[in-house]
Amino acid sequence: MGLKQPFEDQGLRWPKLYRGRLIKRYKRFLADVTLDSGEIVTAHCSNSGRMTGCNQPGRPVYLSFHDNPKRKLKYTWELIEMPTSMVGVNTLVPNRLVAKAVGGGLVPELAGYETVASEVRVNKSSRLDLKLSGNGLPDAYVEIKNCTLVEEGCARFPDAPTLRGQKHLKELARLKADGARAVIFFLVQRTDAERFRPADDIDPAYGRLLREVAKKGVEPIAYDVEISTQAIRLRRILPCVF
């Protein structure tokens, strides 16, 4: 990508992180962790997927701390250290990271637009993550998906059946048919993938629909990241294998 700015300027810097060991993840949104200090805490897990391959008890994990009186849980699970890669598990990160990268001109496939708007309503019941507009170009709608499942060098999505994900694909296809540009953006929050493909064994309906809308002009884009305990940024585009 030819990025020349300092690492943190290209991406997102983590808040102060606290290292520990994962005890267990449960009820989807909770994770018990033994901090290096010896304290056992319950952290919020901002990830509704199965997190297959990145939720092994005993693995090193990194939590952020938020001293907000309105929060029941002060810690948020951000990273897990797997044998072949650090993995970002917070599903709130991809939207912020991709929006910043696109706005900074760091995604060549989505360059040339004047404005980047987030959380854009496309009908009474649906929003998509980004709308790019300006410079005489057709509006571009981008839905961003967090991908943490990697097997034998292949990043795969989803890691659990997703009716919501199918709904987003249908909205993108509708917008494309109406004359807009439509993009489904898979952000692989780890460094050990060489390609991307839909997880047909997990959600065959999603895989079929993704192929169908791609034939209608919805553009699949997949990127991996460079990630450390200091910051995360986009690294390179991955081939999408259908």
Q: Is the backbone peptide bond immediately before 57 cis, with ω within 30 degrees of 0?
A: no
Indicate the Cα dihedral angle 125, 128, 189, 220, nearest 10°.
Answer: 120
Looking at the DSSP bridge assignments, the partners of residue 87 are: 80
Round to whole Å and give the CA distance between 182 and 139. 9
Average pLDDT over residues 207-221: 98
Q: Is-contact 23 63, C-beta < 8 A?
A: no
The residues near 236 (Cβ < 8 Å, ≥ 6 apart) are 1, 223, 224
Count the neighbouring beta carbons within 10 Å of the beta carbon of residue 201.
8
pLDDT at 9: 63
Average pLDDT over residues 161-177: 97
Rg (CA), the chain: 18
Give yes or no for residue 4 having a pLDDT over 70: no
CA dist list (Å): 227 to 112, 208, 221, 230: 26, 31, 19, 8
Kind and range of the H or E run holding 130: strand 127-134
* pLDDT (tens digit per residue) in 183-202: 999 999 999 999 999 999 99
CA dist list (Å): 156 to 4, 136, 215: 30, 35, 19
Least confident of 36-40, 70-74, 187-191, 200-204: 70-74
pTM over 0.85: yes
CA dist list (Å): 31 to 2, 60, 84: 38, 13, 22
Percentage of the chain lying above the pLDDT 70 cut: 96
pLDDT at 125: 84
- Averaged confidence pLDDT in the chain: 94
pLDDT at 149: 97
The residues near 10 (Cβ < 8 Å, ≥ 6 apart) are 3, 101, 104, 106, 233, 234
| 166 confidence band (pLDDT: 50, 70, 90) | very high
pLDDT at 124: 84
Average pLDDT over residues 44-68: 94
User: Helix 163-177 vs helix 204-215: angle between axes, to the nearest 10 degrees?
Assistant: 10
Give yes or no for residue 85 having a pLDDT over 50: yes
N-to-C CA span, the chain: 24
Determine the length of the chain. Answer: 242
| 8 confidence band (pLDDT: 50, 70, 90) | low
Kind and range of the H or E run holding 176: helix 163-177
* Pick from 191, 186, 195, 194: nearest CA to 225: 191
Average pLDDT over residues 33-56: 95
| 110 confidence band (pLDDT: 50, 70, 90) | very high
* Pick from 198, 173, 194, 174: nearest CA to 238: 194
